Amino acid sequence: MWVVKLGGSLAEGERLPEWLALLATVGRGRVVVVPGGGRFADEVRTAQRHWQFDDVAAHNMAVLAMAQTAMMMRSLVGTLEPVLSTADVRRVLRRGGTAL
């Protein structure tokens, strides 16, 4: 299994759909794509500086930012399969899919 993290800088680039399509095709049964938080996480950092809320809240919001990025990626390449658990990852890879 390969775990490929696509960070915020790549999510800002024009080639993101190409990378996702490539991973979805070549990575079938072998790849888990982990999205970074991108601009959504940047907004969490900005809000934390302004409001001074604690790091636990900021961390949880950053995880939600990663989920938002995953939703965007899924919309760009519909063959990526969202997962929530290790069991989901195994199921998707066994079926020959690419986990997101």
- Domain, as residue range, for 41: 2-99
HEC secondary structure over 15-56 = CHHHHHHHHHHHCCCCEEEEECCHHHHHHHHHHHHHHCCCHH
The pLDDT of residue 56 is 98
- What total number of domains does the chain contain? 1
Reported confidence tier of residue 7, pLDDT bands at 50, 70, 90: confident
pLDDT of 41 strictly over 90 = yes
Length of the chain: 100
The pLDDT of residue 72 is 95
The pLDDT of residue 18 is 95
Q: What's this model's pTM, rounded to 2 decimal places? A: 0.91
- Give the integer Cα–Cα distance in Å for 12 and 91: 30
Q: What is the mean pLDDT of the chain?
A: 95
Query: Domain holding 33: CATH number?
Result: 3.40.1160.10
Distance from the Cα of residue 77 to its chain's centroid = 12
Task: For the chain, give the percent of residues with pLDDT over 90.
Answer: 92
